Amino acid sequence: MPRLGGIEAGGSKFVCAAGSGPQDAEIVEFPTTTPRETIARVAEFFASQEPVEAIGIASFGPIDPNPQSATFGYITSTPKRGWRDFNFAGAVTDALAVPVAFDTDVNAAALAESRWGAARGLRNFIYVTVGTGVGGGALVDGRLLHGRLHPEMGHILIPHDRARDPFAGNCPYHGDCLEGLAAGPAIQARWGAAGHLLPDGHEAWDMEADYLAHGIVNWTSILSPQRIVLGGGVMQREELFPKLRVRVTDLLNGYLAVPDMVPPLLGSRAGVLGAIALAAGAPLGG
């Protein structure tokens, strides 16, 4: 098996790995600072390792993952200071002189879960993370879904009953889109405490399941997945899974088959392992 590199770029930390998969990947992480300093640390990590044949980058977004585009490999309209319009793939190519693959963090995680995790062998499934944001990646007929750029599955608009939940939503672009209602910061803002501090059985979890179930119904109606893998910090609350299954079944009401809803198997390593899978030339969809 080829020795490959993976870079998972998040807004607050970078994770780098070298190896061929979950069985042998060596993994390090460090904080995201400026692009210059951060790329230097990436280069330092790979210099300390046996050479790799290619590197995959799994990046926070929005990004341009289209190899035909003039801005391929760029992070585009992020509000994150210093990273907007940064030629990420170009900087890694310059620093390390190996072929580079580039996609979203959630597409990479989807690829990793399909290769080594909770969606092994499936040609149609969705990977969703619910944490500081709500994001998703998908395999459609065995290939990563891109469209014009890439999905932004958390920014869909869903019913919001303001009598039940007066919280206005905190997405800076859309207010009460799914992410604005259901990501970790929304839970914190609505209940005055981070999700992990709220007890099992708190009404927050029924509400959370209700919003996510609406997202699942919409993703399912549009993509007809076999399975939905739900990860991220918020989904570590195990009682969400049975609540989701009940609520999604209720909302679909027999019209469509209820997709499996399961946690990921690769946990926090999904992104960086997905970056390795990207490097392997796994479906890039471009």
Task: Give the footprint of its own copies on this chain (CB under 8 A).
Answer: 62, 77, 124, 140-141, 143, 145-160, 173-174, 214, 217-219, 221-226, 251-257, 259, 285
Contact between 53 and 2 (Cβ < 8 Å): yes
Q: Which is nearer to its own copies, 13 or 80 (CB)?
A: 80
Least distance from its own copies to the Cβ atom of residue 115, Å: 19
Q: For residue 62, with 0-12 CB atoms within 10 Å meaning exposed, 13-18 middle and 19 or more buried, which class applies?
A: middle
Q: Are 1 and 252 contacting, i.e. CB atoms less than 8 angstroms apart?
A: no
- What distance in Å separates the CA atoms of residue 171 and residue 178, rounded to the nearest whole number? 9
Smallest gap from residue 102 Cβ to its own copies (A): 16
The smaller minimum CB distance to its own copies, of residues 47 and 257, is found at 257
Which of 41/155 has CB closer to its own copies?
155
- Smallest separation (angstroms) from its own copies to the CB of 251: 7
Closer to its own copies by CB, 39 or 186: give it. Answer: 186
Q: How far is the CB of 280 from its own copies (least distance, A)?
A: 19
CB neighbourhood size of 250 (10 A) = 12
Asked if the bond preceding 62 is cis, omega within 30° of 0, the reply is: yes
* In the complex, least distance from residue 253 CB atom to its own copies, rounded to whole angstroms: 5
3-state class (DSSP) for residue 163:
coil
Structure token pair of residue 11 = 């807004």
In whole angstroms, how close is the CB of 74 to its own copies at the nearest point? 15
Cα 279 from chain centroid (whole Å)? 17
* Cβ closest to its own copies, residue 1 vs residue 163: 163
Q: Work out how close the CB of 262 gets to its own copies at its nearest, in angstroms, rounded to a whole number.
A: 15
- What angle in degrees, to the nearest 10, is found between the helix axes of 88-96 and 35-47? 40
HSE, CB side, 13 Å, CA atoms: give it for residue 83: 25
Residue pair 170/185 in contact by the 8 Å Cβ criterion: yes
Q: Tell me the CA distances in angstroms from 105 to 17, 48, 247, 274, one per residue in order.
A: 14, 24, 28, 8
- Looking at beta carbons only, is 122 or 204 nearer to its own copies? 122
226 or 236: whose CB is closer to its own copies?
226
